[in-house]
Amino acid sequence: MATPSSLDFGRVIEKDTGDKKIWLVIILAFLGVGALVFWAVQQGSRTGDLERQASAAKAQAAEFEKSLGERDKLLAEARAEEGLMRSPGAALGIFYTADPRAQESGIVFAHPEQKAVRVYLYGLAAAPEGQEYAVAARGGDGQAKRLGNVLADDRGNGFLLAKDVPEGTVAIELVFAKTGDEALEGATPRVSARYPAEGERGILAEPPRQARQGKRKK
């Protein structure tokens, strides 16, 4: 027969065992919740990484498409320039002296349909201080537009491909212009070649008529 003390001890043991089970369940529950939270955080981080990677890939694809477009544009321009370089042009103009002291010479291949000229120059010397060689398109009203600068090589030769010859141009000139002066104020023509009129073709052997020099275009 069990004594009171042994019964009390048994109850204590059963109570302790029950409490331990409860605490074990609580701890396991906390661990489970923690694991779920950790998994959710990991999934969220992974989702964020995937979104960032997708965004980066999309940006790279857009940049790649842009670079392809720029490449195609450059290729088209290069092919157009190559076509101009190989073409004899509609007409060929010969540079004639506009300044009695000028020693420069050259020829112009005119491409009126493309509003372009290829200018080949020879006998270029050092430009006066504060000035530079420039090629200009002069209209019948005397207005002139700078087409570009010309730098001489070590043999005194120069070249310019211009693709923005304005309507109404009657002559292509080589001038001494103030450095950086797009308006060509006070520019001194050195040599001048005829530019073909509409429908005119072949070699333009005669010198250009003196155009009235009025206000110059920028």
SS (H, E, C) 13-76: HHHHHHHHHHHHHHHHHHHHHHHHHHHHHHHHHHHHHHHHHHHHHHHHHHHHHHHHHHHHHHHH
Residues 158 and 120 placed together within one structural domain of the fold: yes
193 vs 83 pLDDT, higher one: 193
**Which tokens go with 120?**
């080949």
Last residue of a domain, one of 86, 120, 146: 86
Residues 150 and 176 placed together within one structural domain of the fold: yes
Residues 155 and 120 placed together within one structural domain of the fold: yes
Residue 148 has pLDDT above 60, yes or no: yes
Residues 79 and 173 placed together within one structural domain of the fold: no
Residues 80 and 95 placed together within one structural domain of the fold: no
Q: How far is CA 122 from the centre of its chain?
A: 32
Q: How many domains does the chain have?
A: 2
Last residue of a domain, one of 86, 106, 130: 86
pLDDT digits (tens, 9 = 90+) for 81-135: 556 556 656 788 999 999 989 999 999 999 888 899 999 999 999 888 999 999 9
Q: Is residue 40 assigned to a domain?
A: yes
Residues 1 and 78 placed together within one structural domain of the fold: yes
pLDDT digits (tens, 9 = 90+) for 47-96: 666 667 667 767 776 665 665 565 555 444 445 555 655 665 678 899 99
Q: What number is the average pLDDT over the span 39-48?
A: 65
Boundaries of domain holding 166: 91-204
Residues 103 and 48 placed together within one structural domain of the fold: no
Residue 211 has pLDDT above 50, yes or no: no
Residues 48 and 123 placed together within one structural domain of the fold: no
Residues 54 and 117 placed together within one structural domain of the fold: no
Q: Is residue 115 assigned to a domain?
A: yes
Residues 197 and 136 placed together within one structural domain of the fold: yes
Give the pLDDT confidence score for residue 218 in this predicted structure: 39
Entry pTM: 0.60
The DSSP letter of residue 140 is: T
- For the chain, the average pLDDT equals 76
Q: Is residue 48 assigned to a domain?
A: yes
Q: Is residue 123 assigned to a domain?
A: yes
Residues 26 and 66 placed together within one structural domain of the fold: yes
Q: Is residue 82 assigned to a domain?
A: yes
Residues 30 and 114 placed together within one structural domain of the fold: no
**Which tokens go with 23?**
């605490």
Q: Is residue 217 assigned to a domain?
A: no
CA 114/CA 89 separation, integer angstroms = 10
173 vs 12 pLDDT, higher one: 173
